[in-house]
Amino acid sequence: MRVIAGKARSIPLAAPKGMKTRPTTDRIKETLFNMLQPRISGCEFLDLFAGSGAIGIEALSRGASECVFVEKNRGAVACILENLKKTKLEKDAQVMQTDVMSALKQLDGHKVFDCIFMDPPYQDGVEEEILTWLVNSSLPAKDSVIIVEAALTADFSWMEKLPCSIVKDKKYKTNRHLFIQINKN
């Protein structure tokens, strides 16, 4: 696992030990950021369930102005901090060691994000709770994108009741990225 592009290009990244995280492969990360590239320069990026921090670090390397990493696992947080130091991107990062809902409540009213990425544990079903909370918060900018990494089999039919739209559903062999926009007035 490495940084794909930008000022930290080719720097190898550490992954947390154990099976609690599933780092996004370099190929999928490259595809994701090719789709996001027009939005990244100068953006405020939020990386939920950050794991190794590879997604947020890629955003910073490609020109995001700041990234907030949210991860509750102590070992994973240590890995994020190590990767930030290795890439020399720590000055543009904030790492929050807490659960996602607590972090969102702490950030609400203080930050606005252009890109929000979440990679929750598959099959936990937390996406609905988090997206429902996000659409009613001040965290997403007017034209922000929320990207959810999920299993191919994940059901998102519940989104019909939310004021948001899936603008892209990029499927890979084992997972997918849903690109969601909130329909704010």
Nearest residue to 122 via CA among 148, 84, 93 = 148
Q: Is 95 helix (H, G, I), strand (E, B) or coil?
A: strand
Half-sphere exposure in the Cβ direction for 26 (13 Å, CA): 11
- Does residue 176 lie within any of the structural domains? yes
- Does residue 80 lie within any of the structural domains? yes
- Does residue 9 lie within any of the structural domains? no
Q: Is 168 helix (H, G, I), strand (E, B) or coil?
A: strand
- Does residue 49 lie within any of the structural domains? yes
Q: Is 154 helix (H, G, I), strand (E, B) or coil?
A: coil
- Per-residue confidence band for 18, with pLDDT thresholds at 50, 70 and 90: low
Model confidence, pTM:
0.95
Q: What is the domain extent for residue 101?
A: 27-182
Quick one: average pLDDT of 110-134?
93
Half-sphere exposure in the Cβ direction for 12 (13 Å, CA): 2
- Does residue 6 lie within any of the structural domains? no
pLDDT of residue 10: 85
- Does residue 47 lie within any of the structural domains? yes
Residue 78's CATH number: 3.40.50.150
What is the total count of domains within the chain?
1
Q: What's the N-to-C CA distance of the chain in angstroms?
A: 40
pLDDT of residue 123: 75
What is the enclosing helix (H) or strand (E) of 141? Answer: strand 140-151
Judged against a pLDDT cut of 80, whether residue 67 lies above it is answered with: yes
- Per-residue confidence band for 174, with pLDDT thresholds at 50, 70 and 90: confident
